[in-house]
Amino acid sequence: QVQLVESGGGSGQVGGSLRLSCVVSGGIANNYWVAWFRQAPGKEREGVAVINPGGQTTSYVDSVKGRFTISQDNAKNTVYLRMNSLKPEDTAMYYCAAAGSFMSWGRVLSSTAYNVWGQGTQVTVSS
């Protein structure tokens, strides 16, 4: 059974950077769709970035394009989210999610497309 463990959250300053890690166990990360979601208090969970099985293609929500980068290290079975140029609106709980089945690109940032979730890691951005 695939399990996901996130780390790397914490406090960051406006304009600064953080890198989140999602360690995949019980399966090979390269075989899964792996996405990062975030949820701020009082808001719905939002898909932020996704990487496809094989790691050739990525997709991002518009609000993070050019600032966030999703990548994977197959040797470490880990997916990363590099967050640059942080903004206060990036403050949220960040979750890693995985799905092993085929999905269309129209669904890749939809939370309902994923059946395995990590516990989350908090990111707080302050000025």
Longest dimension (CA), the chain: 41
Judged against a pLDDT cut of 90, whether residue 86 lies above it is answered with yes
- The first and second tokens of residue 100, run together, are 């092993």
On average, the pLDDT of the chain sits at 96
Select from 94, 80, 101 the least CA-distant residue to 27: 101
Per residue in 34-83, pLDDT (tens digit) is 999 999 999 999 999 999 999 999 999 999 999 999 999 999 999 999 99
State residue 49's pLDDT score. 98
- The single-letter code of the amino acid at 11 is S
